[in-house]
Amino acid sequence: MTTTTAVSLRGVTKRYADVQAVAGVDLTIRAGEVVALLGPNGAGKSTTIEMLLGLVKPDQGTVQVYGGTPTDAIAKGQVGVMLQSGGIIEDAKVGELLNLVAGLHNDPMPVEEALERAGIADLTKRTMKGLSGGQKQRVRFAMAIIPQPDLIVLDEPTTGMDVESRRDFWASMHAETARGRTVLFATHYLEEADAYADRVVLMRNGKIVADGTAAQIKASVSGRTIRATIPGADLAALASLPGVRNVETRGDVVLLQCADSDNTLRHLLGNTSAHDIEVTSADLEDAVLAIADQNKAQETLA
Amino acid sequence: MNRDYLIFDIRRTLRNRRVLIFSILMPLVLFLIFGLTIPQDANEAGISAIAYVMVSMAMFGSMSAAMSSGGVIAAERDGGWNRTLRLTPLKPQAYVVNKVILSLLLAVPPLIVVFLCGMIFGHVHLSATQWLTVALVSWLGALPFAAIGLVIGYIAKPDSVQPITGLSTMLIAAFGGLWLPVDQMPSIMKHIAQLTPAYWTGQTSRSALTESGVDTHALLVVIGWTVVLGLIGLRRFRADTARA
């Protein structure tokens, strides 16, 4: 199987009045990837998504979806979209709305199937305005998968959902990614990015500041921390090991911050009496905060 | 045109009682009050007065039904539905064509109801050709009002669209001489009437019943109104879809 490029953004910028919403974004998403676009409010996630969908024209740069314009990809039914809010007709019934959306696409899945996959088969006769926020999001999800798209784009899909709906939602979503669909979702929930994405793209002030697997992003910031009990440890020797950034002690317990924890471990096990060893990585939240701080520092310098 | 969208719109409109009451019951009641109280042998502008009122009221019904599609458009523009549509293969032009067809479909029931009442209770006797001509002309006479509905739909907010549509329907109908014949009013009223599209659609429909047949001058004015209002509607539509 060849890997095709689903989405390609090159040097994309967008300015609204005095706000530079997107300040030069390069992003390539390969077919089959599940990508989280992570960042605080105002980071430029929504604008990036709007440009990717052809809803907003970039000031500069190019946007390609499956090698063509976003509009072409949408006309071919290659893209399914779940918007954050709105985008539905409040006085329509769930079944009517989904029949309509199916009728607007060239090769839709049966409406019953979409209802089933979104877990809303029991809501068909209900009017949209009577639904809870979580139920509406499920209808939007059904609308996004009806075209049988290759790429699903979700803008903060779980906003306003309670914990249980959120878990159910991601279970439904997982079934779609298992079918090999490419997924791009914007979120400001770190745990969602961590749990559901193969790749996390971190945005801040309109720029991509980190891009990799959740594990890579965590490692890029603080590496891992080794915690071991080493009676009478030679701290100077430990500190001089390659990749060790910092050494702290608490009694016999030594905390080593390492860029390459595997090598440090080998040394500890081979050459010292270290025992009760634990290796922990910083969680994604620490990483994101650290990256944000680094950025702030750079901006201040510039 | 998109068939599923049309079905969706029809089902939704049929649930909206206000539209149904306004477009079917209003002309019917007005016909019962102003039409059936007229003596059988009375004449107006060369045709039976009852037939005159029947056609006017039918025209009023098809006009207000056609304009009500503006409410559908305004509601859909609100709340980001247009964004959703832009993320489907539906072409924007197909959307407009759909709404015009919806207008024309909504215009059918009031015509049928008023004509049937005229036939049964008003004892209006017309030849099959006359019925067909007057029905067709009254029906297509809804086109300029479908365009007005489009314009209102693109400028009004959902909460103001009902009163705007209701008020403009009544003003156009009253001043256009659909409720009371302008020939019976001071001449200034006739001059005002001629400024409205309703006067000319009414004139075209009623002329279908006279010996001389359809008034081509009036028909041309109706076509002119349709073109001009259609262009304004398209302009509003373009401005709306261009906005990101």
Q: How far off is chain B from A16, nearest CA to CA, in Å? A: 12
A301 pLDDT tier (thresholds 50, 70, 90): low
DSSP A159: T
pLDDT one digit per residue (tens) for chain B, 244 residues? 899 999 999 998 888 887 778 889 999 999 999 888 888 888 877 788 899 999 999 999 999 999 988 888 888 888 888 889 989 999 888 888 999 999 999 999 999 999 999 999 999 988 999 999 999 999 999 999 999 999 999 899 888 998 999 899 999 998 998 888 887 788 888 889 999 999 999 999 988 888 888 899 999 999 999 999 989 988 888 877 665 4
**B12, B79, B88 member nearest A104 (Cβ):** B88
- On the question of pLDDT at A52 being above 90, the answer is yes
| Cross-strand partners of A236 | none
| Cβ neighbours of B241 (radius 10 Å) | 16
Residues of A with CB under 8 A from a CB of B: 50, 53-57, 74-77, 79, 81, 83, 85-92, 96-97, 99-106, 143, 147
Residue B83's pLDDT is 87
Give B-chain residues touching A99 at CB under 8 angstroms.
4, 7-8
Determine contact, residues B225/B200, Cβ cutoff 8 Å: yes
Cross-chain Cβ contact B87/A90 below 8 Å: no
| Cβ neighbours of A264 (radius 10 Å) | 23
At residue A177, φ and ψ (nearest 5 deg) are -70, -30
Q: How far off is chain A from B66, nearest CA to CA, in Å? A: 20
- On the question of pLDDT at A234 being above 60, the answer is yes
Q: How far off is chain B from A144, nearest CA to CA, in Å? A: 10
- From A82, which residue of chain B is nearest by alpha-carbon distance? B84
Residue A263's pLDDT is 86
* CA proximity to A288, closest of A219, A225, A217: A217
Give percent of chain A with pLDDT exceeding 70: 92
| Cβ neighbours of B146 (radius 10 Å) | 28
A300 pLDDT tier (thresholds 50, 70, 90): low
Note which residues in 58-97 of chain B have CB less than 8 A from chain A. 75-76, 79-81, 83-90
Interface test with A, best of B19, B85, B87 (most A CBs within 10 A): B87
CA distance A241 to A238: 5
Cross-chain Cβ contact A76/B90 below 8 Å: no
Residue A262's pLDDT is 86
Which pTM does this prediction carry? 0.80
DSSP string, A263-294: HHHHHHHHHS--EEEEEEE--HHHHHHHHHHH
Which three-class secondary structure state does DSSP give residue B93?
helix
- B210: its two tokens: 């006279």
Query: Look-up: residue for tokens 């001629």?
Result: B194
Pick the residue with more confidence: A281 or A99? A99
Residue A224's pLDDT is 79
Q: How far apart are the first and last CA of chain A?
A: 45
A1 pLDDT tier (thresholds 50, 70, 90): very low
Q: How far off is chain B from A221, nearest CA to CA, in Å? A: 38
Cross-chain Cβ contact A81/B87 below 8 Å: yes
- On the question of pLDDT at A99 being above 50, the answer is yes
**A83, A86, A105 member nearest B89 (Cβ):** A105
Give B-chain residues touching A86 at CB under 8 angstroms.
79-81, 83
Residue B152's pLDDT is 93
Give B-chain residues touching A143 at CB under 8 angstroms.
84
A126 pLDDT tier (thresholds 50, 70, 90): very high
Q: What's the whole-number average pLDDT of chain A? A: 88
Residue B185's pLDDT is 80
**A53, A89, A96 member nearest B81 (Cβ):** A89
> Is the minimum CB–CB distance between B11 and chain A shorter than 8 Å?
yes
Cross-chain Cβ contact A55/B88 below 8 Å: no
ipTM value of the model?
0.82
Q: pLDDT tens digit string along A146-164? A: 999 999 999 988 887 888 8
Q: pLDDT tens digit string along A252-267? A: 899 888 888 888 889 8
> Is the minimum CB–CB distance between B17 and chain A shorter than 8 Å?
no
Give B-chain residues touching A75 at CB under 8 angstroms.
89
Cross-chain Cβ contact A100/B11 below 8 Å: no
- On the question of pLDDT at A291 being above 80, the answer is no
In degrees, rounded to 5, the angle at the alpha carbon of residue A189 between the alpha carbons of residues A186 and A192 is 80
Cross-chain Cβ contact A89/B4 below 8 Å: no
Cross-chain Cβ contact B84/A143 below 8 Å: yes
Residue A302's pLDDT is 56
CA distance B202 to B172: 11
Interior/surface letters B72-92, b for 16+ CB within 10 angstroms, e for the rest: bbbbbbbbbbbbbbbbbbbee
Residue B113's pLDDT is 95
Cross-chain Cβ contact A79/B87 below 8 Å: yes
**B12, B76, B86 member nearest A55 (Cβ):** B86
